[in-house]
Amino acid sequence: MEGNTTAPVGKGTQPGNQLWGDGLMRCEMSFRDQIAKLSTEQLIEVKRKALKTLREYSTDRGMSFPAEVLIVSGTKSRPAHRTGAR
Protein backbone atom coordinates (compact mmCIF):
# COMPACT_ATOMS: atom_id res chain seq x y z
CA MET A 1 0.00 0.00 0.00
CA GLU A 2 1.26 3.44 -0.84
CA GLY A 3 0.16 6.72 0.68
CA ASN A 4 1.38 9.63 2.75
CA THR A 5 2.27 10.09 6.39
CA THR A 6 1.29 13.51 7.70
CA ALA A 7 2.71 15.25 10.77
CA PRO A 8 1.08 18.48 11.98
CA VAL A 9 3.30 21.53 12.43
CA GLY A 10 2.60 24.11 15.12
CA LYS A 11 1.02 27.41 14.03
CA GLY A 12 3.46 30.24 13.39
CA THR A 13 6.42 27.98 12.69
CA GLN A 14 8.24 27.78 9.40
CA PRO A 15 7.94 24.47 7.57
CA GLY A 16 10.27 22.00 9.17
CA ASN A 17 11.27 24.12 12.19
CA GLN A 18 9.05 22.28 14.66
CA LEU A 19 9.86 19.00 12.97
CA TRP A 20 13.56 19.83 13.27
CA GLY A 21 13.16 20.61 16.98
CA ASP A 22 11.08 17.52 17.73
CA GLY A 23 13.31 15.22 15.70
CA LEU A 24 16.62 16.71 16.78
CA MET A 25 16.77 14.75 20.03
CA ARG A 26 16.10 11.47 18.20
CA CYS A 27 18.66 12.47 15.58
CA GLU A 28 21.21 13.35 18.25
CA MET A 29 20.69 9.97 19.89
CA SER A 30 21.37 8.21 16.58
CA PHE A 31 24.20 10.43 15.38
CA ARG A 32 25.53 11.86 18.65
CA ASP A 33 29.20 11.26 17.85
CA GLN A 34 28.98 12.72 14.35
CA ILE A 35 27.02 15.80 15.49
CA ALA A 36 29.48 16.43 18.31
CA LYS A 37 32.29 16.73 15.75
CA LEU A 38 30.53 19.47 13.77
CA SER A 39 31.48 23.09 14.22
CA THR A 40 28.72 25.63 14.89
CA GLU A 41 28.92 26.71 11.25
CA GLN A 42 28.62 23.13 10.03
CA LEU A 43 25.61 22.47 12.27
CA ILE A 44 23.92 25.62 10.96
CA GLU A 45 24.56 24.42 7.39
CA VAL A 46 23.14 20.96 8.13
CA LYS A 47 20.00 22.56 9.57
CA ARG A 48 19.70 24.92 6.57
CA LYS A 49 19.97 22.04 4.09
CA ALA A 50 17.49 19.92 6.07
CA LEU A 51 14.93 22.75 6.14
CA LYS A 52 15.42 23.37 2.41
CA THR A 53 14.78 19.69 1.70
CA LEU A 54 11.78 19.52 4.07
CA ARG A 55 10.02 22.45 2.37
CA GLU A 56 9.19 20.06 -0.50
CA TYR A 57 7.00 18.09 1.93
CA SER A 58 5.31 21.09 3.55
CA THR A 59 1.54 21.40 3.12
CA ASP A 60 -1.14 23.60 4.65
CA ARG A 61 -1.92 20.68 7.01
CA GLY A 62 1.67 20.10 8.16
CA MET A 63 4.40 17.90 6.79
CA SER A 64 3.43 15.11 4.39
CA PHE A 65 5.91 12.37 3.48
CA PRO A 66 5.47 9.53 1.00
CA ALA A 67 5.02 6.19 2.73
CA GLU A 68 4.73 2.57 1.75
CA VAL A 69 3.46 -0.31 3.85
CA LEU A 70 4.44 -3.86 3.02
CA ILE A 71 2.40 -6.63 4.61
CA VAL A 72 4.23 -9.94 4.68
CA SER A 73 3.82 -13.23 6.45
CA GLY A 74 5.78 -16.39 6.65
CA THR A 75 6.50 -19.49 8.62
CA LYS A 76 9.68 -20.90 10.00
CA SER A 77 10.69 -23.98 8.09
CA ARG A 78 11.25 -27.16 10.05
CA PRO A 79 14.67 -28.76 9.71
CA ALA A 80 14.72 -31.67 7.31
CA HIS A 81 14.98 -35.08 8.94
CA ARG A 82 18.43 -36.43 8.17
CA THR A 83 18.84 -40.14 7.85
CA GLY A 84 22.06 -41.68 9.03
CA ALA A 85 23.15 -38.57 10.94
CA ARG A 86 24.90 -39.11 14.23
> Is 21 within the bounds of a domain?
yes
Q: What is the pLDDT, as a whole number, of residue 73?
A: 92
Q: Structurally, how many domains does the chain consist of?
A: 1
Q: Is 60 exceeded by the pLDDT of residue 1?
A: yes
Tens-digit pLDDT profile for residues 3-23: 888 877 765 555 445 555 555
Compute the CA torsion angle 9, 68, 25, 42 (nearest 10 deg).
-90
> Is 10 within the bounds of a domain?
yes
Q: What is the pLDDT, as a whole number, of residue 45?
A: 92
Q: By residue range, what is the domain housing residue 34? A: 2-68
> Is 86 within the bounds of a domain?
no
In whole angstroms, give the CA distance from residue 9 to residue 70. 27
> Is 77 within the bounds of a domain?
no
> Is 76 within the bounds of a domain?
no
Tens-digit pLDDT profile for residues 25-83: 566 667 778 888 999 999 889 888 888 888 888 888 888 888 898 999 998 888 877 76
